[in-house]
Structures are given as C-alpha cells and as structure tokens.
Structure 1
Amino acid sequence: MTRQLKQAILTVVVLLPLAAMARAVPASIGRPVIWSDGSCFLMSYSTMRNGCSTQRSFEIPLVADTAGSKTVVVTALGATPSNNVGCMAIGMNREATLVWGGTRKWLPAFGPAQYIVLTDAYIPNSGYLYANCLVDPGGQINAVDHTA
C-alpha cells in the first residue's frame, strides 16, 4: 500500500467520528465538579485550563435529542505527561440511579490538541449525558463534540 493511501485511510479513521457528530460545545459551558475549584480553571477563547498545582475535575453537560448509544469526542491538550487530561462520557437515567459508560481515556499524545474518543455512553429515554474530565496542572480542554 502506498504511503499516501495509508495516510488517507488514517485521516479518515481519525476524522470520521467527528464528521458524524451532531453537536459541538466549547469547554467553557462546563464547570468544576467541586465548586471551590472554580478559581483553578482559567478560560481563554472558551477553552478551560487547569491553573492550579494539582489535578482537578471538570464536567460538561451535553444535550442529547434521542435515547441510545452516544459517541463523545473531547478535544484537549497537554504539553507533557504532567499536563494530561483524562475524560469519560456518562449517560444516566433521570432518577440518577443507573449509569452507562464511564471508561476514562487519556490523551493519546502530548503537544498539540488531541482527540479523546469515548464510545461507551448510553442514554435511556428521559436520561442525560455528560463528560467528566480529570485535568492535570496545565492541561486544557478545548471543546466537546457528540452525537445527539
């Protein structure tokens, strides 16, 4: 297989999940899980960066139009492994007694922005969806795309 064909296939595989996304939101729509951590998250152009010296948790609510399995793609970055970002997508029922998803995945590489693809969330009728990220010092969340 030629090098150009391999690169084209790799590009399609990486970008295909994004092409199927129906919604996109900036990280600034979220909030820290612990309210007092609010001063740790610094906003720039609607991205959120952890400016504190320890890992903090950030949660982003996502609007879903239908029940079913959902794919969530978090765009995040960390310059080094010390600036890592690890996210999970979670679907819950309205009563918050049943949870689907929650497998945390971390940045696949460091330096420029990377995609964290989360595919294990499920939303029942009248349920809801959110992304939860652990953000190391200097780590940054840019945006979240998801199937609606």
Structure 2
Amino acid sequence: MKSLKKTRRIQVIALAALALVVSTALIGYAMRDGINFFRSPAQVLAEPPGPTEVFRIGGLVAEGSLQRGQGETIRFAVTDGGATIPVHYTGVLPDLFEENQGMVGTGKYVNGIFEASEILAKHDETYMPKEVVDALKEQGVYKDPNGS
C-alpha cells in the first residue's frame, strides 16, 4: 500500500513538473515576436543585426537629415553622437517629431538602412526615453534640459 502511495505521489510531481516546463515553453514561444530589444546607433554599427530581426533604435534626429515630400517615404538619420544610422519610414510622423529631438523607432536593419515600421517622438520638452538618454550619456553628448 505504501508503495502505491509513493508511486502516485511521484507521478503527480512528475506530471506537474512536465506541465510547468510545457507552459513555460509555450509562453516563451508566444512572446518571441513581442520582444523588441533596444539598440543605439553605435551598437547597431558595431554588431549589425540580421535583416529579419525586429528591434528598437533610439537617439536624436540628426540635424539637416530630415527629407520630406519625396513620395510616401520619409528619410532621416538618427544619431547618438558616436554613430549615425539612416532611417526610412513610410507613414505619418508624430506631431512633435523634428531635428535634434529624441526619437525611438521600431523596425529592421536592412542593407545599412533602418526600415522603421513605427516612430515615437518625445511628448514634451523635457521627456526623452531612458534608453535614449543612456545611449547619449554613453557617447558624452547628452544635455540635461533641466540644467542639472
């Protein structure tokens, strides 16, 4: 009798462990497309991602790089002070998008050009995404808008 109880207990524990492993694997598989890693322009040039990898890039819109009105595609460059990456985006840019302002884009790096599927711009004069601030500080070009 005791042997049967032990066997059942081991079977229940093994089944629970198997269910935990399977559910963790399914959750990871489902989330694989929803995770976008952030990279600065310097990181993209140092270790270029594959053409199918979706990631986020952020920095400042390089001065003099914004080109509008040539078809639907808008061209500009994003910089972190150490490197500059050309960006192509088809769509409507946020109202606050302009040169020398912070931005974060989601997309793919194909043939030396970041093809953005989404562009986010800062939403007021003091906000900049933390990843962009960190990348600019790393390059030594960050200027605190509060003067501190």
Indicate whether the TM-score tops 0.5.
no
| The structure with more strand, counted as a fraction of residues | 1
The TM-score by the shorter chain falls in which range? under 0.3
| The structure with more helix, counted as a fraction of residues | 2
